[in-house]
Amino acid sequence: MVTIGSEKAAEVIAAETGVRLVALSGNLCTDKKPSAANVVMGRGGKTVAAGVFLSDAMVKEVFKTDTKSLTEVNTRKNLVGSARAGSLGFNAHAANVIAAIFLACGQDPAHVVEGSNAITTVDPVDGGVYVSVTLPSLQVGTVGGGTAIETQQACLQMLGVAGGGDPAGGANAKAFAEIIAAGVLAGELSLLGGALAAGHLARAHKQLGRGG
């Protein structure tokens, strides 16, 4: 829709001013490309966050580690490691979760590039930690395109977000973005806590063929 509208606007500008349209896309949009502009401005997608409080006991029981180790792994890996690499996404493996959901629910898989610009934080609080993920440029939709394919439509229906939604169109897309953020949060906790902080990553890959 934006492409078609931009072309019409360019035609009017060219007719009125005599300028020549070289290319409809100039790449400043950074569509399907890693870009700081997408992180800052969101590029017309959704900016969404999800967070959860985990008590010391929950971290020990569920993830087989402690909150101090979980916090340190996130700081050293997601924050310091990503900064040293010059990364735009400060997360453990958000792209894995986003790619899986995109394929299952009829999204454009190329938009995983923007969607995985996620930041994961782990903050110590009294009695535990608060873990959150922020996805600043998540491109999702629940109408049109691949969402109309039978299998993908069925997945959206199972999640309760097929179609535009009520009370206004776009409500389901917002809810879908929140679901994805929650999924990314779960994936980050699995890898950071259950696999890395607990020291299970290599063993899990070897024995189960998975990371967390």
Whether residue 39 is found in the same domain as residue 17: no
Q: What confidence tens digit (pLDDT) does each residue in 126-157 have?
A: 999 999 999 999 999 999 999 999 999 999 99
Return the SS3 of 90: strand
pLDDT of 116 > 80? The answer is: yes
| Total of domains in the chain | 2
pLDDT at 124 over 70: yes
This prediction's pTM: 0.87
74, 39: one domain: yes
16 shares a domain with 79 = no
Residues 1 and 103 in one domain: no
Q: Please report the pLDDT score of residue 115 as a whole number.
A: 94
103, 187: one domain: yes
Mean pLDDT within 1-30? 91
Q: What is the CATH number of the domain that holds 121?
A: 3.90.770.10
* Domain, as residue range, for 133: 34-208
User: Would the CA dihedral through 30, 31, 35, 40 be positive or negative?
Assistant: positive
One domain for residues 5 and 106:
no
Q: How much is the average pLDDT of 112-132? A: 96
Q: Are residues 53 and 3 in the same domain?
A: no
CA distances 209 to 47, 172, 202, 204, Å, are 32, 34, 9, 6
Provide the pLDDT for residue 193. Answer: 83
Q: Clarify whether residues 106 and 11 are in a common domain.
A: no
